[in-house]
Structure 1
C-alpha cells in the first residue's frame, strides 16, 4: 500500500498499538486495518481463536443509532429480519435490501428499547444504510451516523469468557444478547456475538477509551489477531461476506440467507421481489466447495461440471483447520448439482477437483 493511499484511509483509534505490534496493514472498506501481526501471521492467529482466544480490532465496522417513538417498529419495517422475535437486550442479524431484493448490507441490530435501536453495518456501507433509513424515517424518529464515536473489539475463542471474567466483565448472557457494563471508568456494551464460529463477544467501546480497553485485554492474555485470520475463520463457517457472497447483485435467497428474513412480516424493503424469487426458486444458489487435492481457490474463479461452466466462486481460501482449499460459490440451479457431487474449479488455468458440501466446513462451537 502506497503512503498516499494509506493517508486517504480512515484509521482505528488503535492504529498506533497495531504499528507497535508490527502489523501488516490492508484496506478494508475505506479503512487501514491490521491484516496480521509480526511473529504470528494468519495461521497462528487463526489457531489462537480456534484453540484459545484472540482479539480483533473491528472498529472499521459502522455504528448508527435510530431513536424516537416507534423506532423499533420503523427499523422492522425496513430491514428483513423480524425484530418482533427478540426483546430489549438482544441483538439480531438482519439485511438491508433494495427493492429488487439485492443486499445493500448485512448488519447487526441491537434492540435497546422500543424507541432505541443501535445498528452495526459494514464499514463501506454505513453511509448508504444511514441515508436510506434517514430518507424513510417518519417524523419523530432520528437516524444518526456514529461511525467514529465507538470502537468495536471482538474477543473470540473457547477461552474468551475466561479472558473477560479476569476483567470483571459479564460473560454469562445468552448468545445474541448484550449487557451494558463498565471497565474502570469506561462504559461499554458486551454482546455475545462474533464472526468466527467460536464462543465470543464483541465489545462496543467509546472511541477515546479504546486504547485502555485494548491494553487491558492484551494484559489479560488474549492474542491480537488481524483481519486475515478473521476471513479464514468466517469462511470455514460459511459465513457470507458482503461484497463477495452477498451484494446488490446477490439476494438472500440466492445466498441461502433466507433464515434472516421475516417472511411473514407485512413490510420490509425488497419484500415483494424476495417472495417472488423464493416462490419461483432462485436461478443460482450459494454452495460450499472443498478441494479433494491441492490448490487454494479465491473469489471469481469459474466452476465447471461435465465440461460446462456452472458458476463461479465468491470466496475462497486455505482452511487452516482442515488443511485443504475451500470456497463458497454461486452455482446455477439448472445444473442440478447436489451435495457430494464433484465439480472443478479453474485455479489460474488448472482444473482442481472439488466436492460440493453444505457449510460449515468446520463444526462451530457457538450454540444459540
Structure 2
C-alpha cells in the first residue's frame, strides 16, 4: 500500500496539533481548533489553509494557450494574461475527468491547478494530445499552495509586502524571503481571499509569517473540514461528489463554464447533445426545514418515490442548519419540498438555488 504524500508544511501542522486525514493521496490537516471555529474565522476575520495537495502543472511552448483552449471546456479567449479561469476537462461522453483553475501567463504558457487525485491523469491526457513544440510538465511537488481567506486577508498579505487588490480571478507575481511566488485572487471559500503559489522550500517560513502577520486579525489555521463546509455553503462542486465521470457540467449546472461557441473542446458533441435534450438529473441545493443533517449518498424522495441522491451534505455553521447539494430529477424544481432519508427517517428539505450564504468573494 502506497504511503500518502505529505505537504512541505507537515511539521508545522503537527506542531499546531492538527488532526489529519488522507485526501487525494495526501495526508492533510482536517482541523486544528475545530471545524466550526475555523469556518467562522474565515467568514468573519481570516483563516489560512495549506492546500499544497492541489495539483500543479505547466503547459508551455508555441501555441500552448490555444492548445489548452482546444481541450478544456471554458474559453480562454475570454481572459488575458494575468487572469485565471475556472475550467473543466471532460471525456468524450461529457463526463468530468477533473475541474481545475487555468492561469493564463501568456499565449505560450498556462499554469494549471487540478485536483490532487486527478493531476497525473490530467497531465497524461494533455501530454498525449500536445502538438509538437508544446510540453506539459507535472510540477505537483515543486510548489506549495497557501490559501489566505477572509475579510482581513488583504491586511495580512499587505503586512508581508505582497501584492493585493487585484480583481477576482486575477493574479500577480511577487517575492518574499528571496523567493518568487504568485498571488492569486482565488479560493474555495466564497470569501475574499488569495492563494499563494510558492516554491516548496519557501513554504514553511511563509506560513509562519502569515500566522504572525494575522495574529492581530484573529487568524486561525484551518483544515480541510472547514474548507468543505465553506465550499458547500457556496454550492461549489467537489470532484468525486458533485462532479465525476458520470456527472457532466450540464447535469451540475455548470453551463457557464462551457464555451459553447468554441469550435471544439473535449466532450463538446456530447455536452451539446445533453444541453439540447434537456433531460437527465440536475444538481440542486437543499436546505433543511427540520433538524436533519444530510450526508453524501442519502436518498432524496418526493411523494414517497426516489427522485435523486445527496452528493454533498453537511451542517452549515453560518445558517445553523443542514444543507446539501443533490442530483435530482428535473421534475423537482427550486421551491419544492422533498424528503431526505436520514437514518431511516424522512427529513424535510426545501429545494433552493445555491449559494446558501451571501458571498464576499467579488467584493472590491
TM score, norm. by length of structure 2: 0.98
Deviations 1:230-255 (A, max 9, x none): 00000000000000000000000000
Q: What is the CA-CA distance between 1:17 and the residue it aligns to?
A: 0.3
- Map of 1:246 onto structure 2: 243
- Map of 2:180 onto structure 1: 187
Q: What is the CA-CA distance between 1:49 and the residue it aligns to?
A: 0.1
Q: C-alpha separation between the residues in 2 aligned to 1:239 and 1:282?
A: 23
> Matches of residues 1-368 of structure 1 in structure 2 within 5 Å?
8-37=3-32, 40-221=33-214, 222-333=219-330, 336-367=331-362
Q: C-alpha separation between the residues in 1 aligned to 2:227 and 2:56?
A: 20
Give the paired residue count.
359
Uncovered stretches (5+) of structure 1, i.e. residues with no partner: none
Q: C-alpha separation between the residues in 1 aligned to 2:254 and 2:154?
A: 29
Q: What is the CA-CA distance between 1:217 and the residue it aligns to?
A: 0.2
Q: C-alpha separation between the residues in 2 aligned to 1:132 and 1:258?
A: 23
Q: What is the CA-CA distance between 1:290 and the residue it aligns to?
A: 0.5
Q: C-alpha separation between the residues in 1 aligned to 2:343 and 2:98?
A: 30
Q: C-alpha separation between the residues in 1 aligned to 2:226 and 2:162?
A: 25
CA RMSD of aligned residues (A): 0.9
Q: What is the CA-CA distance between 1:314 and the residue it aligns to?
A: 0.1
Q: C-alpha separation between the residues in 2 aligned to 1:209 and 1:269?
A: 37
Q: What is the CA-CA distance between 1:282 and the residue it aligns to?
A: 3.4
Q: C-alpha separation between the residues in 1 aligned to 2:145 and 2:279?
A: 35
Q: What is the CA-CA distance between 1:295 and the residue it aligns to?
A: 1.7
Q: What is the CA-CA distance between 1:315 and the residue it aligns to?
A: 0.2
Give the secondary-structure state (helix, strand or coil) at the position aligned to 1:164: helix
Q: C-alpha separation between the residues in 2 aligned to 1:301 and 1:282?
A: 22
Uncovered stretches (5+) of structure 2, i.e. residues with no partner: none
Q: C-alpha separation between the residues in 1 aligned to 2:179 and 2:309?
A: 47
Q: C-alpha separation between the residues in 2 aligned to 1:59 and 1:347?
A: 34
Q: C-alpha separation between the residues in 2 aligned to 1:22 and 1:173?
A: 34
**Divergent runs of 4+, >2 A:** none
Q: C-alpha separation between the residues in 2 aligned to 1:172 and 1:13?
A: 28
Q: C-alpha separation between the residues in 2 aligned to 1:228 and 1:184?
A: 30
CA contact (8 A) 1:254 1:282 kept: no
Deviations 1:174-227 (A, max 9, x none): 110000100121110000000000000000000111001101101112321001
TM score, norm. by length of structure 1: 0.97
Q: C-alpha separation between the residues in 2 aligned to 1:60 and 1:30?
A: 8
Q: C-alpha separation between the residues in 2 aligned to 1:206 and 1:309?
A: 49
Give the secondary-structure state (helix, strand or coil) at the position aligned to 1:47: helix
Q: C-alpha separation between the residues in 1 aligned to 2:354 and 2:341?
A: 21
Q: C-alpha separation between the residues in 2 aligned to 1:175 and 1:167?
A: 20
Give the secondary-structure state (helix, strand or coil) at the position aligned to 1:77: helix
